[in-house]
Amino acid sequence: MKVYQSHEIKNISLLGSSGSGKTTLAEAMLYEGGIIKRRGSVDAHNTVCDYFPVEQEYGYSVFPTVFHVEWNGKKLNFVDCPGSDDFVGGAYTALNVTDTALLLINTQYGVEVGTQNMFRITEKLGKPTIFVTNQLDGEKADFDNVVEQLKENYGSKVVQIQYPIVCGPQFNAVVDVLKMKMYQWKPEGGAPDILEIPDSEKDKAEDLHQKLVEAAAENDETLMEKFFEQGTLSEDEMREGIHKGLLTRSMFPVFCVCAGRDMGVRRLMEFLGNVCAFVSEMPHVVTTDGEDISPDVKGPTSLYVFKTTIEPHIGEVTYFKVMSGKIHEGVDLLNANRGSKERMAQIFCVAGQIRTKIEELVAGDIGVAVKLKDTRTGNTLNDKGCDYRFDFIKYPEPKYRRAIKPVNEADAEKLSELLTRMHEEDPTWVIEHSKELKQIIVSGQGEFHLKTLKWRLEHNDKMYIEFLEPRIPYRETITKAARSDFRHKKQSGGAGQFGEVHMIIEPYFEGAPVPEVYRFNGQEFKISVRDTQVVDLDWGGKLVFINSIVGGSIDARFMPAIMKGLMDRMEQGPLTGSYARDVRVIVYDGKMHPVDSNEISFRLAGRNAFSQAFKEAGPKILEPIYDVEVLVPGEKMGDVMSDLQGRRAVIMGMQSEKGFEKLIAKVPLKEMSNYSTALSSLTGGRASFSMKFAAYELVPGDVQDKLLKEYEKLQLQEQD
């Protein structure tokens, strides 16, 4: 295979809702590019891109799949992304290593929530975007309606390059208003007949051609001047204008294909080769040290690993993008993240599971290595003397969480290893070994996302697991000041144990002053601050510890032990065993014994004094609250709002967004357990949501009572 240079390489993502036909389009491109001799189909489970067993089981993409096509002297690298919102991580991966997005739309269904979500990611990452209308031969295909929806959502930037003569089962021709020709296909598709535009279509074609000329001219002052002088532009000038419009996202061209019948695919690839951005034209990637790195073939060799998979009969397969320099087979590189050396024994170009050996890849290209010993997703591999490190892919927050455990408890360690590996394959599977909850928590983008993980564990690794309702990471705090004292005394022959601690505890908030006098039961307690320690707790909030001992009633050397006793109880609050937070503790008095006092005595005295005071200080349970945004079709707004309110949500706002309604709410995490499934059921899968941790807030009284009873019942069960 030819070694392509940076100015001959284009990297493109295939995006779209489930069912928009991305994998089918990929199959047609591979066929037209000569990579495969026969087109497979999703229904027959024999496509190049959906080759994992789980994808064949479910009938649609689960992982982003890399493939390439050589076309008109250029190399087009593609990443076919899953369409389901549950696997949106694939789109984030793909768009961060490619430069242009093809956003497919099923013309039978128009602009869907998935279309909106994918477009929003392209917008966030500033990627040039081309709309490709597919399934034009479908019974319900309505191209004009799709264009109308696109313009309603994205305005005048949406510009037609093509339109179909007719939609539906009779579809076999499009008018190309850039070429000003009609492309017509025989029933088997493939190479079209290129004909003059029929008289019946000339007026419409001329009108759209003029709009395309104007849109192209707007992106360049020189072209604009030519347009004013001549009233038109040449085909090459129009391409130049479209190219610049794509780069600045001031133009979103619309193309027509029928991927299932291989119609329009060749023309689309020709357009991509002529007009899409080269790697050198896009904004440069920045290292973790803030250094701007251009895809310079003469620069130091540096690779970024954006994906790893485990494949049957091969083992680990590592996908990388050459960020700088060039890579040869047989070279030794240093892993900047792990400090280990890797030998690139062989490098390949890929098309799904088809690997083509190649001797060299240059800056901007995408390749694969197999059986690297110590390289993971997100790692950077460098040549000697180069210290680049990249970390530019930021994935969305998880939306669905479950506790996971093996059916056979003896498999716990093996399960942990498998989950770590699966996170490397799909970073949106987030694994947390929670010491607090005493559970392994697996989080993902939806119920089906986690079901896929379960399927793979059980079918590929024979690891049988079960999902459980995850515990909620509640917090405990206090609402008023309280005082207590505790004496720990133990005598059993020889040296004994003695420690007595008197303390005041109160709620803490940033900037809270320390009163000089506290009053409890008519008694005054004067405070003289000798020392203050502020502990930022790992689980959020603070513990503020004030030493107010006067007269040496407790020696300063025992203060750290008292602090340890406090932390023991902060890690296991008295109400539900949850972490405590935002408490100020003032140790103002106590007693010690010249022989029997020691660290353990004061640790136990401090722990018990704190426990007593906490129970008297108006203890309350806090629960995690999440900011939730729901994008929903207008007609389903009422149902979705009612459901949220039933989940104790506080609606913060509503706004219209490009054909959909956006609901913004604050919702307790406890109530979001099955929200992904419920929302899909309520809206027929036409809504999506995102959630992000906001704050901890007090639970309502009835909820606290219920939680206390549940904890009490659990304690009794553990005692039995």
pLDDT at 657 over 80: no
Does 575 lie in the same domain as 489? Answer: yes
> Is residue 111 within 8 Å of 103, Cβ to Cβ?
no
Are 127 and 195 found together in one domain? yes
- Assess whether 305 and 197 both reside in one domain: no
- One domain for residues 605 and 672: no
Q: Has residue 232 been placed in a domain?
A: no
Q: Could you report the per-residue pLDDT of 616-649, keeping only the tens digit for each? A: 999 999 999 999 999 888 889 999 999 999 999 9
Total domains in the chain come to 5
From the centroid of its chain, how far is CA 548?
49
Q: Average pLDDT for residues 293-299, to the nearest whole number?
A: 93
Question: Domain for residue 387, yes or no?
Answer: no
231 — pLDDT class (breaks 50, 70, 90): confident
The span from the CA of 377 to the CA of 380, in Å, is 9
Dihedral of alpha carbons 388, 394, 395, 397, sign: positive
Residues 555 and 664 in one domain: no
Q: Is the pLDDT of residue 131 over 90?
A: yes
Lowest mean pLDDT, pick from 92-96, 135-139, 654-658: 654-658
Q: Tell me the three state secondary structure of residue 590.
A: strand
pTM: 0.86
Q: Looking at residue 493, what is its pLDDT?
A: 66
Q: Is the pLDDT of residue 93 over 80?
A: yes
Q: Which of 402, 464, 403 is nearest to 674 (CA)?
A: 402
Residues 134 and 63 in one domain: yes
Q: 341, 356, 382: which is the final residue of a domain?
A: 382
Query: What is residue 558's predicted lDDT score, i.e. its pLDDT?
Result: 96
**Percent of the chain whose predicted confidence (pLDDT) is above 70:** 99
Assess whether pLDDT exceeds 70 at residue 334.
yes
Question: Position of tokens 């399934």?
Answer: 135
pLDDT tens per residue across span 177-226: 999 999 999 999 999 999 999 999 999 999 999 999 999 999 888 888 88
Residue 449 belongs to a domain with what CATH number? 3.30.70.870
CATH code of residue 655? 3.30.70.240
Does 258 lie in the same domain as 134? yes
Residue 301: CATH number of its domain: 2.40.30.10
Output 663 or 62, whichever has higher pLDDT: 663
Q: Is position 712 within any domain?
A: no
Q: Do 481 and 437 share a structural domain?
A: no
Query: By three-state DSSP, how is residue 482 classified?
Result: strand
Rounded to an integer, what distance in angstroms lies between the CA atom of residue 7 and that of residue 296?
10
d(CA 720, CA 714): 10
The set of residues, in sequence order, having a beta carbon less than 8 Å from that of 655 and lying 6+ positions away, is 661, 662, 664
Helix pair angle (199-217, 235-247), 10° resolution? 50
From the CB of residue 288, how many other CB atoms can be counted at a distance below 10 Å?
13
Q: Is 319 inside any structural domain?
A: yes
Residue 331: its H or E element: strand 331-335
Of residues 687 and 585, more confidence is placed in 585
pLDDT band at 602 (very low <50, low <70, confident <90, very high): very high
- Return the C-alpha torsion angle 607, 608, 612, 615, nearest 10: 50
Secondary structure element (H or E) that encloses residue 719, with its range: helix 701-719
- When the pLDDT of each residue in the chain is averaged and rounded to a whole number, the result is 92
Instruction: Flag whether 570 is in a domain.
Output: yes
Token pair for 166 = 């007719």
Alpha carbon separation from 284 to 219, 288, 331, 378, 586 (Å, rounded):
22, 13, 25, 18, 54
Cβ neighbours of residue 646 under 8 Å, at least 6 residues apart?
A: none
Dihedral sign, CA of 373, 374, 375, 377? Answer: positive
Which amino acid makes up residue 467? F
Query: Which among 555, 584, 618 is the end of a domain?
Result: 618
Give the integer Cα–Cα distance in Å for 123 and 100: 11
Give residue 274's region: left, alpha or beta (phi > 0; psi -120 to 50). alpha
Same-domain pairing of 514 and 566: yes
3-state helix vs strand vs coil in the chain, percent to 5:
30, 30, 35
Distance of alpha carbon 65 from alpha carbon 370, whole angstroms: 16
Query: Is residue 60 a contact partner of residue 86, using CB atoms and an 8 Å limit?
Result: no
Residue 226 maps to a domain:
no
Residue 615, pLDDT > 70, answer yes
For residues 580 and 566, the answer to whether their CB atoms sit within 8 Å is no
Would you say residue 244 lies in a domain?
Answer: no
Between residues 59 and 522, which one has the greater pLDDT? 522
3 state SS for 387-433: CCCCCCCCCCCCCEEEEEEECCHHHHHHHHHHHHHHHHHCCCCEEEE
C-alpha 322/C-alpha 329 separation (Å) is 13
Model pLDDT for residues 701-717, shown as the tens digit of each residue: 999 999 999 888 887 87
Coil, strand, or helix at residue 641? helix
Domain annotation covers residue 241: no
**Total residue length of the chain:** 720
Amino acid at 228: F
Same domain, 43 and 84: yes
Q: Does residue 18 share a domain with residue 148?
A: yes
pLDDT at residue 720 is higher than 70: no
Residues 481 and 561 in one domain: yes
Q: Which of 596, 618, 640 is the last residue of a domain?
A: 618
For residue 346, what are the domain limits?
Answer: 285-382
Average pLDDT over residues 583-612: 94
Question: CB pairs under 8 A, 24+ apart, for 167-173?
Answer: 167/107, 167/136, 167/137, 167/138, 167/141, 167/142, 167/143, 168/137, 168/138, 168/139, 168/141, 169/137, 169/139, 170/137, 171/136, 171/137, 171/141, 171/258, 171/263, 172/263
